[in-house]
Amino acid sequence: MQNIRNIFSPASIARRCLLAGLLASAALAAAPASAQPGQSGQPLRLVVGYAAGGPVDAAARLFAPALAKELGMPVIVENRPGASGVMGGDSVAKAIPNGLLLFFAASPTITISPNILKTMAFNPAKDLTPIAPILSYSNVLVVGKDQPFKNVKELLAHAKANPGKLAYGSAGVGASNHLSGELFAKRTGTELNHIPYKGNAPAMTDVIGGQLNMMFDIVGSARNYIASGRVRAWP
């Protein structure tokens, strides 16, 4: 945070900028020197490419007050979910370069999606500039409390007896929990049914409600659901 003001210097804002991290990052639409943040009286918007309530959204809402204090200006979080963060990133990459827009991105939008999607609306490597990592995270496998399997062994037995019928959710195609599910299926020799959502939060809602069998969620955002018994977790 000590160098955050340098991001908005005339030399630093020649390009759109991205705060790229293992979980989350923030991206800045470049501003001309005459319209630097803090001078227009408008708030800085922190764009999250996922639905509200998920781990990236939660991290952004913790980061926003610290950024606002450092810059001395309002910072608001804006959710633009879709395509595993790609829609949010594209909106920032193509925004008017006024220095008042940051992209708080999960790493898959920057590192995974460009390598697995046939077409992508923007090029993270060319259209956004990394600034700094924010935080890292780990995924945990969770299942609804009413699912019939009580451990991973029983889950695998069910999956192998019912190929393609065990459904797991993710924050979208290319999200880290999508790849976690694919890796899990490959290593266990099972066939799973991937259901993409616009964020972890709506996927978790359907795990709790029984519409999904399972998902890989970030430990921090899943903790309360695990502690309350609404889902069961296996590391």
pLDDT at 83: 80
CA distance 153 to 168: 17
What separation in angstroms does the CA of 51 have from each of 85, 176, 187?
9, 15, 30
CATH code for the structural domain at 139-234: 3.40.190.10
pTM: 0.61
- pLDDT beneath 50: ranges in the chain: 1-35
pLDDT at 147: 94
pLDDT at 1: 39
pLDDT at 35: 45
**Per-domain residue ranges of the chain:** 4-127, 139-234
Strands 101-105 and 167-170: unpaired
Backbone angles phi, psi at 214, to 5 degrees: -165, 170
The first and second tokens of residue 159, run together, are 């999956």
pLDDT at 36: 52
> For 32-41, what is each residue's pLDDT tens digit?
444 455 555 7
231 membership: H or E segment, kind and range: strand 231-234
Q: How many CB atoms lie within 10 A of CB 109?
A: 34
CATH code for the structural domain at 4-127: 3.40.190.150
pLDDT at 6: 42
pLDDT at 183: 93
Q: Do domains 4-127 and 139-234 have the same CATH topology?
A: yes
